[in-house]
Amino acid sequence: MVQSAVLGFPRMGVLRDLKKANEAYWAGKLSQEDLLAEGKRLRLAHWKIQKDAGVDIIPSNDFAHYDHVLDHIQFFNAVPERYTKQKLSPLDEYFAMGRGHQKGGVDVPALEMVKWFDSNYHYVKPTLQDNQTFSLAENPKPVREFLEAKEAGIQTRPVLVGPVSFLALGKADRGSSVDPITLLDKLVPVYVELLKALKAAGAESVQIDEPVLVFDLKPEVKAAFKPAYEAFAAAGSDIPALTVATYFGDIVHNFDVVPAFAGVQGIHVDLVRNPEQLEPVIKQLGPTQILSAGVVDGRNIWKNNFAKSLDLLQTAVKALGEDRVIVATSSSLLHTPHTLASEKKLPSDVYEWFSFASEKVKEVAILAKAVTSPEAVKAELEANAASVKARAESTRTNDPKVKERQAAVTPEQHNRKTGFESRYAQQVKHLSLPLFPTTTIGSFPQTSEIRVKRNKFTKGEITEEEYDNFIKKEIDLAVQIQDELDLDVYVHGEPERNDMVQYFGERLNGYVFTTHAWVQSYGSRCVRPPIIVGDISRPAPMTVKESKYAASISKKPMKGMLTGPVTCLRWSFPRDDVHQSVQCQQLALALRDEVVDLEANGIFVIQVDEPALREGLPLRKGVEREAYLKWAVDSFKLATAGVEDSTQIHSHFCYSEFQDFFHAIAALDADVLSIENSKSDAKLLKVFIDEEYPRHIGPGVYDIHSPRVPDEAEFKQRISEMLQYLKPEQLWINPDCGLKTRNWDEVKGALTHMVNAAKYFRAQYTKA
């Protein structure tokens, strides 16, 4: 019989329950006992959803209060000493690694957090020492949660990040030089110990995620699979049966690793992202190994096309037999919203096109039945076919005027009038910029008052005039505080914006919006991605009113803030019926109109953020990656090149590792780049020297994801490190990212220290 499986389920709950509980705990409004009880309630609810849907293989240990990789850091006792020596409770130590801790005499920053492959989810990076050891925590989380489900009458398959991926995704701590993969011999015995504990608890099988198999792997990483999985095989019946899971790409290029998995029960592959790998993978399986076929999309919200999925599944069953095929989600459903049932305001026709996590688990179960007993689910198959057909024939998707404008785009529209040196000389004169100019990335605190007012306006409880007046007062406050801080380039603070992508999507044709379709980005931070359903255009200016008002009351240059075309695309749920390059160019043309309108209204510094540019990078080098970079860079340039040379174009990136695609960063031709850098080694900036990058750079000098406020000495130290790799005239001083998640006391404290540090260096270099 063909079985069904889910690789992971969203953690937050129907109404972001986990977010609210975590934040209440951090604020001292909820006890540790009550927080843990809420986590247990959510886990039980999520297991029940899957069981009720008829899913055969239900995951456990996919839940995390902050991040699943951080869970592994803690239950493998790989916690850096700077946290363990604080003698915090295990829960507070865990959160300290995720978000920093600055109270009760303890002051430690968070560990580095980076994107999970090419998704918008962030994981906490394992940070390892030269003398690193590993040991299994007492009563480890995977065992606890397996027993919790078992007690509720639900048999689960625990999920672990595999040992090779855990190490390959880690890094050496500052002051250490260890290559994480060399620690494999120390780590694998601890995995074996954990697997034995799971077997003793009653686990029949375990899902071992090795997603790094979709990368181009270094030889030493490839070589690590053999000893790791030989050790598991040697444990024999003392450990559960194992399924190695890969996702977000194909594994064909790493088939030389597959013999290492001879002792595992099954291999999971992502057939949504790479359906063409199906037959080659089947040929690689051992004579009894099971194929877990990931045919239900774990990354997008479109209803599954049952007919297409069944073609793949029937191919697998024909080759392997019913007992050796599992129908599964392509990846964890972490990247999808909780349930479509919460959406009461979507147009009825569009509603029928979507499937969120709770619906996707039903799709998995239906497909498993349909492979061998289609008559048993005949009504479901017919309804699915009708929905797929209705979407394909909908008039919502096509706008002839948008297509005409795209066809008329010329190469010249992608280029500024002159080169950077000529432009920047005009900008310095026009904007009166000092050495080491200070600015912020865009947003200021989104206070509860702002959120309440926006909610009232959305519900029609206050008038547009009342809301506009409120927003003006918030902009007044933001400008006043920047006056007091003595920043050099101001922002208006974005009090009117709910989200950096949703805000623009709501003002563009071609999008639809949800009310409860939240997805975890990191920790307690959730986003509600808009959904692209048709051709995109801008019916009216989107940001001009607020930026123009802010500039009118500002002593210093006011920066207009836009989200770039690639990020608008990547942080939306994109269409799956049109290539992403087409959607991105449509967004670029809409943003080009906005950039030109901002300049015409007195905004001469315009930041077009592209934090998702790297995220969208295909995971492997080659033709596909270069093609992506070509259309992504062209879209950014098309959006920004319509202004005069005296107008300064900024862009922002949520990472500092550009080595693999630096040529594309340079090709953007932005006058100033700001990058998230505070938790990265400053030596990563060396690439800007090696590549003789001529333009200006603002590496983030402090971590905005943490509530801690660095002192002035810490800022000076960071700037001093940066000056080892950057020229003084290149360097801008700014935070890592926007400040919307912080409170005003944290913001004012940190920015005061930041500005003072910048002035210190300005004085030193002016004297010189």
Task: Report the binding-site residues for L-homocysteine.
Answer: 441-443, 609
Exposed e or buried b for every residue in 383-419, given b needs 16+ CB within 10 A? Answer: ebeebbeebeeeeebebeebeebeeeeeeeebebeee
3-class DSSP state of 327 = strand
At residue 502, what is the residue type? Answer: Q
Give the containing element (helix H, strand E) for 113: strand 113-115
Annotated binding site for L-methionine: 441-443, 494, 609
In angstroms, rounded to a whole number, what is the distance separating the alpha carbons of residues 420 and 7? 49
Asked if residue 338 lies in contact with residue 554, where contact means CB atoms within 8 angstroms, the answer is no
Residue 15 backbone phi and psi in degrees, to 5: -120, 40
Question: Which of 601, 606, 592 has its CA nearest to residue 491?
Answer: 606
Cβ atoms of 49 and 13 within 8 Å: the answer is no
Residue 142 near residue 187 (C-beta atoms within 8 A)? no
SS3 call for 2: coil
Rounded-to-integer distance, Cα 425 and Cα 429, Å:
6
Residues 70/64, Cβ–Cβ less than 8 Å: yes
Please state, in angstroms and rounded to a whole number, the distance separating the CA atoms of residues 397 and 403: 12
Identity of the residue numbered 219? P
Q: How far apart are CA 160 and CA 142, in angstroms?
A: 8
- Residues sharing a CB contact under 8 Å with residue 557, sequence separation 6 or more, in sequence order: 431, 432, 488, 489, 490, 604, 605
Which amino acid would we find at residue 475? I
* Positions at the binding site for Zn(2+): 652, 654, 663, 676, 737
Q: Distance between CA 744 and CA 481 in Å, rounded? A: 10
Round to whole Å and give the CA distance between 538 and 543.
Answer: 12
| Amino acid code (one letter) for 128 | L
Handedness of CA 16, 22, 24, 30 (dihedral sign): positive
Task: Name 237's Cβ contacts closer than 8 Å, sequence gap at least 6.
Answer: none
Residue 117, SS3 per DSSP: coil
Q: Which two tokens stand for residue 486?
A: 């003595």
Per annotation, catalytic residue among 68, 268, 516, 705: 705
Q: Name the binding residues.
A: 19, 120, 441-443, 494, 525-526, 571, 609, 652, 654, 663, 676, 737
Q: Cα 73 to the chain's mean position, in Å?
A: 20
Helix ranges (H only) for 540-678 are: 544-552, 565-570, 580-600, 623-640, 662-667
CA–CA separation, 561 and 610 (whole Å): 11
Q: What gap in Å lies between CA 237 and CA 169, rounded to an integer?
A: 29
* Residue 235 burial by Cβ neighbours in a 10 Å radius (0-12, 13-18, 19+): middle
CB–CB of 720/733 below 8 Å?
A: no
Torsion of CA 282, 286, 287, 289, to 10 degrees: -80
Distance, CA of 450 to CA of 455 (rounded, Å):
9
Local structure of residue 678 (DSSP, 8 states) = T
For residue 116, give the nearest of 127, 124, 108 by alpha carbon.
Answer: 124
705 is known as an active-site residue: yes
The residues carrying an active-site annotation are: 705
